């Protein structure tokens, strides 16, 4: 999940599988025993105590550092960014996904300075974008970026992440530590929230940025995994893992054409919307009627959902398929950037799932 915003639409293929392969079986939840409740309360209290201790011990950021962090607010969402210099160019660094779906951006720091970008640059192999600036405003000191993050920072080094948590327009700082380095990503333990996308991951000891906060992943633990996690030596302490993309490992940059970027984003959005509507239609969920395009298709055929399952209208099925396949194909043809590639791959997989579900309808 991206920490800017989250959409459940991508996972509706799972909803189809459940709807078409199994009956819904409801189970009443077991009432926890007093002993279990007491243990859970004790564990929660211990965790809260550890969190407080970590916060008290965490080095604080200077006002100078905080002044370089900005809130990014658009018409469809919000995120975070920070002032820096890349390849000698003054800029605001954030995530590409923070820019998706936006038609206008308001960028400000805690001092009330408004930043106006004059262009966009996208990383070729990471969810990182640069909003270029003519110059850095007086009184703002850009954050320095680590040239080799995995050599500067060691595992378990403390980190701080300032950001626009929950999009409330204030910069909160959450402490944590370095968990692991990868060739493109860095994993940290700092707890973060929606709105933190694009935040700098600041190495406490050096004060340099070692990554751009990008995503949180909810992992499903098997019984084996839970046993391993309970081991004091486990580095995976939670079912939520937090990752940033490394600026020092960007292999190349390309000018981001805002018009093409927006067109591709819009095609992907339309693709997910039509996939969702088709899923609801297949599941006999009346929410499909909220999709105007699908309603028009059904109305034109002069058929209700109940009649579709009892007829052999191959033509109608193909038109419904086309309603979601056309925007997917359009997104594939358009120039797409790093952030679009995963979406297009997921859309194509969803297309196969939904189309397979349509096949038995006769």
What DSSP line would sit under 226-239, residue for residue?
HHHHHSTT-S--SS
Which tokens hold the place of 15?
């909803």
CA-CA distance, 89 to 97, in Å (whole number)? Answer: 22
| Per-residue three-class SS string for 98-153 | HHCCCCCEEEEECCCCEECEEEEEEECCCCCEEEEECCCCCCCCCCCECCCHHHHC
Dmax over CA atoms of the chain, in Å, equals: 70
Residues 6+ apart with CB under 8 A from 27: none
Residue 253, judged by CB atoms within 10 A of its CB (0-12, 13-18, 19+), counts as middle
**pLDDT score at 30:** 33
pLDDT, tens digit only, all 362 positions of the chain: 565 543 333 333 333 333 333 322 333 333 333 343 444 445 444 554 454 444 445 557 999 999 999 999 998 889 999 999 999 999 999 999 999 989 889 999 999 999 999 999 999 999 999 999 999 999 999 999 999 999 999 999 999 999 998 878 899 999 999 999 999 999 999 988 889 999 999 999 999 999 999 998 887 777 777 777 677 777 776 778 899 999 999 999 999 999 999 999 999 999 999 999 989 988 889 898 899 988 888 777 665 544 554 444 466 777 888 889 999 999 999 878 999 998 999 999 999 998 888 765 55
Domains of the chain: 64-143 (2.40.10.10), 149-251 (2.40.10.10), 257-358 (no CATH)
Q: What is the DSSP string of 19-40?
A: HHH------PPPPPPHHHHHHH
**pLDDT score at 360:** 59
Which tokens hold the place of 295?
């309603």
Residues 6+ apart with CB under 8 A from 351: 275, 324, 325, 328
Which tokens hold the place of 218?
């909810």
**pLDDT score at 96:** 96
CA-CA distance, 243 to 250, in Å (whole number)? Answer: 16
Q: Are 136 and 142 in contact (CB under 8 A)?
A: yes
pTM of the model: 0.78
CA torsion angle 307 308 310 316 (round to 10): 130
Residue 23 CA: distances (Å) to CA of 18, 187, 286, 358: 8, 39, 19, 19
**pLDDT score at 291:** 92
**pLDDT score at 159:** 96
């Amino acid at each position: 999940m991206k920490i800017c915003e989250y959409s459940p639409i991508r996972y509706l293929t799972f909803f189809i599988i459940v709807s078409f392969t199994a009956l819904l079986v409801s189970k009443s939840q077991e009432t926890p025993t007093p002993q279990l409740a007491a243990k859970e309360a004790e564990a929660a209290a211990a965790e809260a105590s550890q969190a407080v201790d970590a916060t008290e011990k965490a080095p604080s950021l200077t006002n100078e550092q905080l002044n370089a962090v900005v809130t990014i607010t658009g018409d469809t969402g919000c995120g975070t960014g920070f002032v820096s210099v890349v390849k000698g160019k003054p800029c605001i660094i954030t995530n590409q996904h923070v820019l998706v779906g936006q038609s206008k951006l308001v960028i400000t720091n805690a001092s009330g300075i408004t930043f106006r970008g004059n262009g966009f640059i996208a990383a070729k192999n990471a969810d990182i974008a640069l909003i270029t600036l003519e110059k850095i405003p007086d009184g703002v000191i850009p954050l320095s970026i680590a040239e080799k993050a995995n050599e500067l920072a060691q595992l378990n080094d403390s980190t701080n992440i300032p950001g626009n948590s929950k999009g409330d327009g204030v910069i909160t700082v959450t402490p944590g530590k370095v968990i692991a380095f990868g060739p493109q990503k860095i994993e940290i333990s700092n707890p973060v929230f929606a709105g933190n996308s694009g935040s700098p991951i600041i190495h406490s000891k050096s004060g340099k940025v070692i990554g751009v906060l990008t995503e949180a992943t909810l992992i499903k633990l098997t019984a084996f995994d839970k046993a391993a996690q309970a081991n004091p030596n486990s580095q995976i302490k939670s079912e939520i893992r937090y990752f940033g993309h490394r600026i020092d490992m960007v292999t190349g940059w390309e000018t981001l054409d805002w018009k093409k970027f927006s067109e591709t984003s819009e095609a992907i959005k339309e693709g997910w919307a039509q996939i969702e509507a088709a899923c609801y239609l297949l599941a006999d969920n009346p929410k499909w009627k909220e999709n105007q395009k699908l309603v028009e298709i059904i109305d034109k055929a002069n058929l209700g959902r109940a009649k579709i399952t009892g007829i052999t209208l191959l033509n109608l099925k193909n038109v419904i398929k086309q309603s979601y396949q056309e925007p997917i194909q359009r997104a594939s043809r358009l120039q797409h950037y790093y952030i679009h590639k995963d979406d297009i791959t997921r859309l194509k997989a969803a297309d196969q799932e939904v189309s397979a579900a349509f096949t038995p309808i006769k």
